[in-house]
Amino acid sequence: MSTREPDARTISREARKASTRQRLIDAALELCERDGYAATSVEQITAHAGLGRATFYLHFARKGELARALLRDIEAPSRRVYDALAAVDRSDRVAFEHWLEFALTFWDEHRPAIKLIDEALAVEQDLDATMYATLEHTVAALMEAIGDTTALGHARSALLVVGLERAAYFAKIRGWDVDHELLRTALADIWLSPAAAG
């Protein structure tokens, strides 16, 4: 069995397809940031991207599929945040707070996508299963990072993840007027408490 290298036409076609998909995503992110997910139509997205409506449907079956694609796109960077915790000595509070800052930076870097996904969850009922699967992957990464794979470890990890993510969501996405230094300190208190550590 021989393995053939893809020819230049195949690579070019794949590169164009990826570029077009990214143009649609970028247009959706800009419009949803400005107008909200529910108020943004496929027609507006394609017009903003300078593409035809049919092109959208070559990449996504409907607008909710674009949100699902974004959710999948940010899953790996989100998991890396929790994977990085494995290298942190949780008895070193300063190191742990540096990890928390790294974790909160994820929300700054992915703000438009997270905002679009959150708004899509309110109107796209079938996104819930994908969101829960993503949450479970994140919880599993945390369980692995802290070395507690028990049922109680799962519950603790889920509560820690959800608490951190909701605090980050309100502080970074919704504009919660909170002192970020105090927020990081309070989160560290919660995460480093004996109850959280098991």
Question: What is residue 194's predicted lDDT score, i.e. its pLDDT?
Answer: 73
Band of the pLDDT at 5, cuts 50, 70, 90?
low
d(CA 123, CA 37): 9
| pTM (2 d.p.) | 0.83
Percent of the chain with pLDDT over 70: 92
Res 173 pLDDT > 60: yes
CA distances from 38 to 42, 129, 173 (A): 11, 20, 17
Band of the pLDDT at 9, cuts 50, 70, 90?
low
d(CA 155, CA 148): 10
1-60 falls under which CATH superfamily?
Answer: Homeodomain-like (1.10.10.60)
Q: pLDDT tens digits, residue range 126-155?
A: 899 999 998 998 899 889 888 889 999 999
The CATH class given to the 61-197 domain equals: mainly alpha
d(CA 44, CA 78): 29
Q: What residues does each domain of the chain span?
A: 1-60, 61-197
Res 156 pLDDT > 50: yes
d(CA 130, CA 86): 25
Question: What is residue 14's predicted lDDT score, i.e. its pLDDT?
Answer: 87
Question: What is residue 1's predicted lDDT score, i.e. its pLDDT?
Answer: 47
139-155: b or e for each residue (b if 16 or more CB lie within 10 Å)? bebbbbbbebeeeebbe
- DSSP secondary-structure letter at 176? -
3-state SS, residue 39: coil
